[in-house]
Chain A
Amino acid sequence: MSIPVTSYLLVALILFCIGLYGALTKRNAVIVLLSIELMLNAVNINLVAFAKYGMFPNISGQIFSLFTITVAAAEAAVGLAILISLYRNRNTVQVDEMDLMKR
């Protein structure tokens, strides 16, 4: 039984939207960072699916996704580090409280 590529894409789209929704609505900064990871993973699903079932299947998609995973890890690490130093000064991880600078 073969699953058409669109199914993978749909899963990725749903994941991307869940991630975007989380990143834009969740108040806890850690969850926001995780949601961004979700979005990046949606991309990875896309890339890997295309590497197998795309118009021109080849290995670059998987390579690309390896790079994406690495970069996402680095980004998450930096994000968490910044969050920790923010937490030390402000004693909060609520995203909606981070509005000292506006307008």
Chain B
Amino acid sequence: MSSVSKWGNLAQYDWSVMSPEFIILGVATLLSLLDLFMNKKADRRILAWIGFLGIIVAGYFVVRNTGQNVVSILNDMYRVDGFANAFKLLFLSGVAFVFLISLTYIDESKNIRYSGEYYYLILTALLGAMLMASSSDLITLFVGLELLSISSYILVGTRKQHIHSNESAFKYVISGGIASAITLYGMSFIYGLTGSTNLYVIAERLSSVFYDGFDFLVYFSFFLMFVGFAFKISVVPYHMWAPDVYQGAPTPIAAFLSVVSKAAGFAIVLRVFLISFGSLVSFDMETGQQGSVLVNTLSVYIAIVAAASMIIGNTLAMRQVNIKRMMAYSGIAQAGYLLVPFATLTVLMFEQTMFYLVAYLFANMGAFAIIMLVNRDQKTEDLKSFAGLYHRAPWMAIAMTFFLLSLAGLPITAGFFGKFYIFMSAIVHSSYWLAGIMLATSVVSYYYYFGVIRQMYMRPGKTEAPLKVPASIGLVVLIALVGTVAAGIMPDPVMQYIHHKFPLQQMFQPGGQ
């Protein structure tokens, strides 16, 4: 190395690309210090606003990074590419929504005693998610995953006096722990076979290992990792924690888990499997044909998992009386739909996934904002708390209708095109059975989504008193509504934006030194 500095290689990296992460880290640290030195009785809402500001600034830096060439530092442990930027923007906007919802939710005398830690833990979770999107090394990916998970465990249990909150936090820890262990076990085999934790090196070496008679072990570790990640995205078979945890978690945290945490799970699934398994080619001895392992062998299993999630999620959601549990099952089903592009792997796979995630972000955040508002007002999480909402807050009811329609995948909402694109990918891939299950289960989903709509419009509520809507909730609902409808009428700009600003090909360009 010619230009020797005290720090060696480290000084040569362009650290500025990491500014979004540094900002979030800095703000999280700042918040924890402020929280420590602030008067115990002081209003902690200022912390939320500082955090919110930090998110906006970090978002600005992410936007500044978009459309640039790949920047990779630390031997691909951290890289900025289209894929990373897209997911980071998604996380940041999701957490911004969560902050706005939390402002109304938190009442220190009633639910969350120490709200300062609540805010900076969300930020550390966000940091973990961002690392998961932005790394191509198993070690950093794992650390990011755990940073997100451990922060979320605490956040779920943050209502310390509430037995449901305690229980769901503990269930989350146990599930998460087992899932981490399974993931790591899979990763350890991948490391053993390829001798590297760098995804690009793994991709290079995996093929030779595959032909040296270790093909079964490669599959084995794939499934171990996949089931471990299934926990994060809450798909079958590791989905069952979701309803219990959502129910016990504070509502904004349930929103966080259902959107940000789930999207982070998809980020790591796509990152790990597309890079390391994407170029793996199998050779059929009998026909003499070559084919991608991911497309030919594994896609069937992913499709089965996706289908099972749709079926389980939707049929169980039908039975729920607790709205948060219903949303959890709905989230399981949505994750199933989201796996379809990964199972079919068409050219537009990434755009389809991102579009669906954006649609899901708007619809779910908007829905959770209104759920939080209604539950707080009615002091129950029962579906019946929505009765007569249209007469109490017509705009909220109309907005909620749009969010539910979007989740159900009905027209003039973003969800329709999200499902439509995914459905087309299944048709083009000739997975007719998968397309059929998609349609059939989405018909089932109308049942429960319309159950809520029926409550809002067609049931007399206990009270007719107008529901007061705080400004922050109003803002969340407004943005989510505009996003849902705009992307539902004009999906193309969004698709084009994703396609041009976040090119997926960048993900396959190793950064090197």
Contacts and interface: CB of A to CB of B under 8 A. Distances in A.
B227 to A, nearest CB: 12
A67 to B, nearest CB: 6
A86 B138 contact: no
Nearest to B151: A78
Given A54-B191, A56-B205, A58-B195, A101 B153 contact: no
B184 A43 contact: yes
Interface residues of A, number: 46
A2 interface: no
Contacts of A61: 188, 191-192
Contacts of B170: 29, 79, 82-83, 86, 98
B194 A102 contact: no
Given A54-B192, A74-B146, A75-B146, A100 B177 contact: no
Interface in B143-193: 143, 146, 149-150, 153-154, 157, 160-164, 166-171, 173-174, 176-178, 180-182, 184-185, 187-189, 191-193
Contact of A82 (B143, B169, B181): B169
Contact of A47 (B143, B182, B191): B191
Given A39-B178, A71-B142, A79-B153, A60 B167 contact: no
A18 interface: no
B166 A56 contact: no
Nearest to B195: A56
Interface residues of B, number: 49
Contacts of B388: none
Contacts of A42: 181, 185
Nearest to A16: B185
Interface string A48-75: 0110001111101101100110010011
Given A54-B193, A89-B161, A43 B139 contact: no
A57 to B, nearest CB: 7
Given A55-B209, A75-B150, A101 B247 contact: yes
B195 A32 contact: no
Contacts of A64: 138-139, 142, 187-188, 191, 197
A20 B180 contact: no
A29 B167 CA distance: 12
Nearest to B188: A46
A36 B174 contact: yes
A33 B177 contact: yes
B208 to A, nearest CB: 9
A56 B209 CA distance: 11
A82 B178 contact: no
A97 to B, nearest CB: 9
A56 B184 contact: no
B184 A85 contact: no
A90 B184 CA distance: 33
Interface string B490-505: 0000000000000000
Nearest to B214: A55
A85 B157 contact: yes
A101 B146 contact: no
B431 interface: no
A82 B156 CA distance: 10
Contacts of A81: 154
B64 interface: no
Contacts of B160: 85
A101 B191 contact: no
12 contacts: A20-B178, A23-B178, A40-B177, A40-B181, A46-B188, A56-B195, A60-B191, A61-B192, A68-B142, A78-B173, A82-B153, A98-B171
Given A47-B188, A75-B173, 9 more contacts: A33-B173, A36-B178, A47-B192, A55-B195, A67-B142, A78-B153, A82-B169, A89-B161, A95-B174
Interface of A: 12, 16, 19-20, 23, 29, 32-33, 36, 39-40, 42-43, 46-47, 49-50, 54-58, 60-61, 63-64, 67-68, 71, 74-75, 78-79, 81-83, 85-86, 89-90, 95, 98, 100-103
